[in-house]
Amino acid sequence: MKKELKDWFVPWLSTAREYNVGILDKAWANPDHGRLMLNENPMPPSDKVIEAVVETMKNGNRYPDSYKRLRTKIGEMYDLGPDNVALCNGSSDTIDAMMRVFLQPGDEFILSTPTFELFPPRAELCNAKVIQIPVRKDDLQYDVDAMLNAITDRTKLILIINPNNPTGVFIDDADLKRFCDTGIPICVDEAYRDYNPDVPTSAPLIHKYPQVFLSVTFSKAHGFAGIRFGFVLGTEEMIKAFNTMFLPWNVSLMSAAAAEAIIDNPEEITAKVEHNNRWMKIFEDELTKLGLKPYTAHGNYMLVDATMSGKTTAEILEAALDMEKVYLKKIGEIHGKTGFFRVTPGLDEENERFLKFIRAYFA
């Protein structure tokens, strides 16, 4: 009997969760709408970055080398060597590769929920089992005991986003060490640490715990979400494994040039971080004044508990669009309650529109 096309696909293709990027088509089609729903950086690349990209474009007919100079510069930022750094096309690349490095069908991947929603589908596409442990009820912190209790002999990978997305909280060092002490591979995702220049990186952990690796992206504080650039930090053995899994030439000459240009111009990152952190403080104050509960956040996003308003998440998102043309991020129920949303600072004018919306809607 003739098979249908879908019958040729691996079975877990149809059962894996989908990561929905539909909101991006809407956002690009409506450039007058505030994009406060994605953890993007609202500030465009500097002329220095653009000039570096344009100059490099002239060599765009050539395959890249292994970017040793850039890996050396990144390594130095973390007291590591160039062979402790694997470059990639944004940390989504790392998310995909880490599943394929560690998970065989039936293996278990432990993470918390809510989370950055790309993680579960990429594990499910390896036919692995995703074990999601809800964050604690009171402070939305990782439920460390519950996560550790969920470990079985099939657990092959654990994720700690630090600070977490969407809750914005840092895990305690002592708790992070408890995970490392299990000996199970741990991904520490530091996508948002650059918003906290005073908080040290967890990179030194890799010296004591060779099964730990870090995932870093330039999509956030550096504003490279569309340029695409990220990297993995780990022992040389770990980095070799990732480089085997990453496609060769996964980072274009232009992305690498942009990355080097911004590393050489740290004031650009500082200005972006300051803009974000100033607005995060304003949002927190204004939301609190209105009787809502913003969670103190350490990234470029703020989780807001508006359950006390009696409005559902869907109603809030729709009203923000209707009243002030701002997109907010939908957050599913947390501990059975609707009315959570997430907001990311945009440009000044977009942020003013958000404030106008919350003052009118929640007053």
Ligand X SMILES: Cc1ncc(COP(=O)(O)O)c(C=O)c1O
State the residues that interact with ligand X by CB under 6 A.
39, 90-92, 116, 161, 165, 189, 191, 217, 219, 225, 230
Query: CA 30, CA 45: separation in Å to the nearest integer?
Result: 21
Q: What are the strands of the beta sheet with 85-88, ordered from one edge? A: 85-88, 230-233, 212-217, 186-189, 155-161, 108-113, 129-134
Query: CA 129, CA 104: separation in Å to the nearest integer?
Result: 10
Q: Which is nearer to ligand X, 114 or 294 (CB)?
A: 114
Minimum distance between the CB of residue 309 and ligand X, rounded to whole angstroms?
26
Q: Which is nearer to ligand X, 9 or 28 (CB)?
A: 28
Minimum distance between the CB of residue 26 and ligand X, rounded to whole angstroms?
18
- Max Cα-Cα span within the chain: 67
Q: How far is CA 197 from CA 178, 193, 194, 293, in A?
A: 25, 7, 6, 25
Minimum distance between the CB of residue 90 and ligand X, rounded to whole angstroms?
3
Other CB atoms closer than 10 Å to residue 25's CB: what's the count?
9
Minimum distance between the CB of residue 95 and ligand X, rounded to whole angstroms?
6
Minimum distance between the CB of residue 1 and ligand X, rounded to whole angstroms?
42
Minimum distance between the CB of residue 192 and ligand X, rounded to whole angstroms?
7
Q: Which is nearer to ligand X, 118 or 319 (CB)?
A: 118
Query: CA 214, CA 112: separation in Å to the nearest integer?
Result: 17
Q: Which is nearer to ligand X, 161 or 331 (CB)?
A: 161
β-bridge partners, 87: 231
Q: Which is nearer to ligand X, 219 or 252 (CB)?
A: 219
Q: Which is nearer to ligand X, 261 or 311 (CB)?
A: 261
**Residue at token pair 């009820």:** 137
